[in-house]
């Protein structure tokens, strides 16, 4: 068996070959494609040439992004178990954004848990991701895989966010910068009918069943450049767990809120240790730092190998 990364996570067994979250051309034939969620760094139009497995919400997001869902698709939800080309696949909640999932695939008798992006804290929109005990291989994200990233309690972040919005309203209009898919729906859910939305945000809200308010006193925008002039600016991102970035944002007239839809460093470590796999492959973000730390605490962990110079085999 081979597991490697080539703008997508490829898994090759004796009689099956598939890819998870391809962001570029799919190399050589595959039997199917697994998509964990609809963010642009996890899905591309290249998947449309193949049978695609994803959730209803992810297909809705793909339709917004690409104009239509894949013509050959298998719709799944957390809790489902299916078999494709002899591969047993369990679908698990990832807690990242609406419709995000993890996949536990059994190939040639080997269990492989592929997390995509995941959040063990959950949110107002999603349940928390939970590890599966003792898969043979864990392929896990490392977006915030550096010890400096420790997120505040989510309930406290929500409280801070709502308080800052109210204070901003008292001074005039408020523009909230949030990624159009994911964070924007969480913000819209928190604010209810209070918040209007930029067109790029509103179309995702509609596709995912999240109401958009009609007012312009508070508006959710895809980025700070889209904020109306003279509005009080709020930016929501996990990167603001770095106090230096928060101070820098304030100096630019932006209030940074450390709200993330990923797991922070302690949660990534806790997830890996609770799963206790035979082998961990880290991918995305601070993958080498996380793998190095996991090795220090006794796990066999490496960054996922690439297709060129592949040396590690299960």
Q: With beta carbons less than 8 A apart as the criterion, state whether 217 and 236 touch.
A: no
Listed residue (236, 270, 238, 268) closest to 152, CA to CA: 238
Tell the residue number behind the tokens 């790029």, with chain if given.
200
**Residue 279 above 90 pLDDT?**
yes
Residues 38-70 as b/e (b if ≥16 CB within 10 A, e otherwise) read bbeebbbebbbebbbbbbebbbbbbebbeeebb
CATH topology of domain 2-148+262-303: Metallo-beta-lactamase; Chain A (3.60.15)
Strand partners for 9? 5, 20
Give the pLDDT band (50/70/90) at residue 313.
very low
pLDDT higher than 60, residue 311? no
Q: What is the pTM of this model?
A: 0.95
List every span in the chain annotated with CATH 3.40.50.12650.
Answer: 154-257
State pLDDT tens for residues 104-143. Answer: 999 999 999 999 999 999 999 999 999 999 999 999 999 9
**Which tens digits make up the pLDDT trace of 249-261?**
999 999 999 999 9
CATH of domain 154-257: 3.40.50.12650
Q: Where in the chain is the domain with CATH 3.60.15.10?
A: 2-148+262-303
Describe the crossing of helices 265-275 and 287-296 by its angle, rounded to 10 degrees. Answer: 50
């Amino acid at each position: 068996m081979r597991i490697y990364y080539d703008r997508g996570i490829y898994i090759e067994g004796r009689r099956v070959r598939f890819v998870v979250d391809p962001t570029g051309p799919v190399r050589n034939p595959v039997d199917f494609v697994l998509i964990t969620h609809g963010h642009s760094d996890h899905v591309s139009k290249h998947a449309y040439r193949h049978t695609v497995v994803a959730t209803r919400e992810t297909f809705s997001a793909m339709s917004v992004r690409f104009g239509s869902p894949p013509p050959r698709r298998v719709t799944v939800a957390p809790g489902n178990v299916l078999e494709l080309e002899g591969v047993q696949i369990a679908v698990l909640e990832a807690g990242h954004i609406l419709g995000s999932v993890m996949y536990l695939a059994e190939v040639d008798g080997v269990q492989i848990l592929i997390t995509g992006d995941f959040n063990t804290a959950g949110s107002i929109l999603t349940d928390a991701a939970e590890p599966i005990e003792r898969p043979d291989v864990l392929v896990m994200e490392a977006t915030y895989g550096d010890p400096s990233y420790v997120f505040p309690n989510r309930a406290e972040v929500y409280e801070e966010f709502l308080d800052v919005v109210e204070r901003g309203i008292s001074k005039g209009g408020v523009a909230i910068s949030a990624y159009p898919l994911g964070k924007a729906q969480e913000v819209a859910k928190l604010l209810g009918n209070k918040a209007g939305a930029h067109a790029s945000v509103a179309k995702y809200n509609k596709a995912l069943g999240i109401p958009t308010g009609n007012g312009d006193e508070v508006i959710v925008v895809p980025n700070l450049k889209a904020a109306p002039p003279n509005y009080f600016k709020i930016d929501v991102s996990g990167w603001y767990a770095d106090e230096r970035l928060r101070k820098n944002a304030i100096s630019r007239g932006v209030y940074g809120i450390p709200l993330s839809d990923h797991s922070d460093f302690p949660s990534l470590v806790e997830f890996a240790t609770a799963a206790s796999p035979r082998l961990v492959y880290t991918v995305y973000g601070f993958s080498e730092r996380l793998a190095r730390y996991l090795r220090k605490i006794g796990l066999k962990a490496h960054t996922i190998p690439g297709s060129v110079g592949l040396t590690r085999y299960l």
